[in-house]
Amino acid sequence: MSRHLGILGGGQLGRMLALSARELGLEVTIIDPGKAPPAAAVAAHIHSEYGDQEALERIAQSDALTFEFENVPEQATRILEQKLPVAPPPRALKVSQDRLVEKNQLNQLGIETAAFCEIQSEADVLLALNELGPVLLKTRTLGYDGKGQALVRDASAAAAAFASLKGAAAIAEGLVPFDRELSSVATRARNGELAFYDLTENHHKAGILRRSFAPAPNISKSLIAQAQDITEKLLVELDYVGTLAIEFFQVGQRLIVNEFAPRVHNSGHWTIEGAETSQFENHVRAVMGFPLGSTEHLGHSVMINLIGSIPPAQDVLAFRGAHLHDYSKDPRPGRKVGHITIRRDSEEEARAVAAELEELIRSHEKGIQPSSET
């Protein structure tokens, strides 16, 4: 059996993947252009750009290769797939890197997305406003956590919003009047076996995920069936291997896809403590060609992202059922530096602990505000 996993990218997702791989006895090597990325603490680190030929030759010595985020150059994965198994497939990476290609692919599969228009000029923004009402302008590539997005309410804001794109290719999306946001995380093995986690309810602020609840409360059979149907269609179409996440808008009893990520996902972090097998371990199992583990949930989980700073471990860990994950990143406003998962037997208990922890986080943030400005 294969013994060495290569990962393009060494952020917190790479670190949690590497930790899972190490538990399975695998060696792990990452490529990351950063000096000391989070995964370097738990994996061998090739310090270089992703396209560097010598770095690619070195990581090609692994038995299988994966990536931790969708902005690694597709070309690097195409080169590597000539030499070793690469999962998820480069095509999944390519489709997810461009919002226009992604939406067209989803619509071709009969999967509903927000209504959208391609934007190449200020006149296109005016046309989009006419057709869709208020729109969100989003850059086609490199946007994440709400970055590269502008809300355009009417024609008077069109010129400034188009200028803010600074020439980047974009789309305009109609606003979806959603009741809530949900996500599905699932893993597909090399032999086509599928494993679905429970749907997760996600709360965002300023485009950044703040909190996830799993299993999502008040989920009907119809929502589960729709989510699994959409996920399966996409996994099969892309001939996918590994963990994939899809972000949904729930409108009544209908699911509309916002976007998908060909990787492990922030809204699946609760699976480390809250599921029989985590999204990270199942991803590693799939990439290495191992059988998948059970995705059964254990109790009820609330995941809270730590943005910008981390309260003292001493205080967080005093809460029963709290699990702290510190990514060893330099604190910086708006940066995801860690998360806490609270797992308890009942949803009420998990929510009560989460509310108290959020109070602790707020008072910690207030305490450090003046120094974070400098």
- Residues within the interface to ligand AMP (CB under 6 A): 114, 136, 143, 146, 173, 175-176, 181, 204, 207, 247, 258-259
Integer Cα distance of 98 and 95 in angstroms: 6
Q: Report the number of secondary-structure helices (H) and strands (E) in the chain.
A: 12, 17
Which CB, 230 or 324, lies closer to ligand AMP? Answer: 230
Which CB, 207 or 291, lies closer to ligand AMP? Answer: 207
* Residue 178 beta carbon to ligand AMP: minimum distance, rounded to whole angstroms: 6
* Residue 203 beta carbon to ligand AMP: minimum distance, rounded to whole angstroms: 9
* Residue 268 beta carbon to ligand AMP: minimum distance, rounded to whole angstroms: 15
Which CB, 103 or 190, lies closer to ligand AMP? Answer: 103
Which CB, 249 or 327, lies closer to ligand AMP? Answer: 249
* Residue 173 beta carbon to ligand AMP: minimum distance, rounded to whole angstroms: 4
Integer Cα distance of 335 and 323 in angstroms: 20
Q: Which residue stretches of the chain are H helix?
A: 12-23, 53-59, 74-81, 90-97, 99-108, 122-132, 158-164, 221-237, 271-274, 279-288, 313-316, 347-372
* Residue 148 beta carbon to ligand AMP: minimum distance, rounded to whole angstroms: 8
Which CB, 62 or 305, lies closer to ligand AMP? Answer: 305
Which CB, 339 or 343, lies closer to ligand AMP? Answer: 339
Both tokens assigned to 312: 């003292």
Which whole-number Å values give the CA distances from 67 to 262, 282, 295, in the listed order? 9, 14, 22
Both tokens assigned to 233: 């269609």
Nearest-10 Cα torsion for 152, 156, 161, 167: 130
* Residue 251 beta carbon to ligand AMP: minimum distance, rounded to whole angstroms: 10
* Residue 143 beta carbon to ligand AMP: minimum distance, rounded to whole angstroms: 6
* Residue 146 beta carbon to ligand AMP: minimum distance, rounded to whole angstroms: 4
Q: Is residue 341 within 8 Å of residue 317, measured between CB atoms?
A: no
Helix, strand, coil percentages, rounded to 5, for the chain: 35, 30, 35
Which CB, 74 or 181, lies closer to ligand AMP? Answer: 181
Q: If you search the block for the tokens 């939406």, which residue do you land on?
A: 103
Chain centroid offset of residue 131 CA = 31
Both tokens assigned to 155: 């024609």
- Residue 21's nearest CA partner among 32, 9, 5 is 5
Amino acid letter at 337? V
Which CB, 104 or 258, lies closer to ligand AMP? Answer: 258
Q: What is the DSSP letter of 22?
A: H
Which CB, 66 or 250, lies closer to ligand AMP? Answer: 250
* Residue 113 beta carbon to ligand AMP: minimum distance, rounded to whole angstroms: 9
CB environment 43-63: b (16+ within 10 A), e (fewer): bebbbbebebeebbebbbebb
Q: Is residue 203 within 8 Å of residue 210, measured between CB atoms?
A: yes
